[in-house]
A and B are shown apart, each in its own frame.
Chain A
Amino acid sequence: MRTSPVGTYLRFLRKKLGLSQRALAEILGAVSESQVSRHERSSSLPTILAALSYQVVFEKPVSEIFPGLYHAVEISIVERLDERARRLGDSAIDGSIREFIARRASRRVNPEDSE
């Protein structure tokens, strides 16, 4: 039976370019070979410096290089805002947050106005 570390888009990108983890680390400079391995296995999160380094090397935005993480962050924030939006009348909610939620709701209704 074959058990293996999960594959990620980061690993896919590296292999697509024919790079070893060591070679990628050498190109990145700010990231060691073992850190590349951990990032590919989702065993640790990249620092902002590492994430931006990946973006430069692969010429793709960080949100694309780490799709699972990006969407998990997105879902987390959307759920938090939706929860706040359900109790907008609650005085415990900061006024600036209420304004942010209102602006966001307006952009959703008129998406062409937001770009």
Chain B
Amino acid sequence: MTPPEALTAHDLVFTYRRGAPPVVDGLTHTFAPGALTAVTGPSGSGKSTLLYVLALMLRPTSGEVRWHGADASALPDAARARLRAGHAGFVFQDAVLDPARTILDNVREAALFAGMPDDEARARALELCERFGVGHRVDHRPGEISGGQAQRVALCRALLTGPRVVFGDEPTGNLDGASARVVWDALRDHARAGATVVVATHDERLAAEADARLVLA
């Protein structure tokens, strides 16, 4: 039986253009809470696309993405955005930080759309920055920190709201071994705390440490 908090894909098909071969073709899978699922496969196998469909940023051509038992993929844009803001976090391959804002403001950006109170967002952002070793950089701009630090800032942003679902699109792809380990361990710890974590990765060594694995052909 599917756990009520699970994220599920049911007979999921996604095609970028009508008539083109599907990038995701009939996938049915349950991403259990409390587990980090590694999505692996060769380039072009649809790992990132699957992630964006699961994160409700792309609407499936057919099939369903179910969040907490409900068909979330059929919802209108505003409702899908609310689900993302209130329940989900996202770590991209690039940190994708706003170069004009401080590190602290970049981390707090997730709180804006979640509707999280200011004081709580600030306290939590500072706590996460300390935890991930960028606490001394909160007043700096992204251009003044390293790539590894930037990805840790992105991780802080993804975890700020304490999301129940976290997606990672090659979050360690641009990092050295030590930084990759920090990011991976943080995602795994978040899963251990009860969240559903789905990470697309090329890194076989890290994928082998995942709680579950979905291999795309």
Are A and B genuine complex partners? no
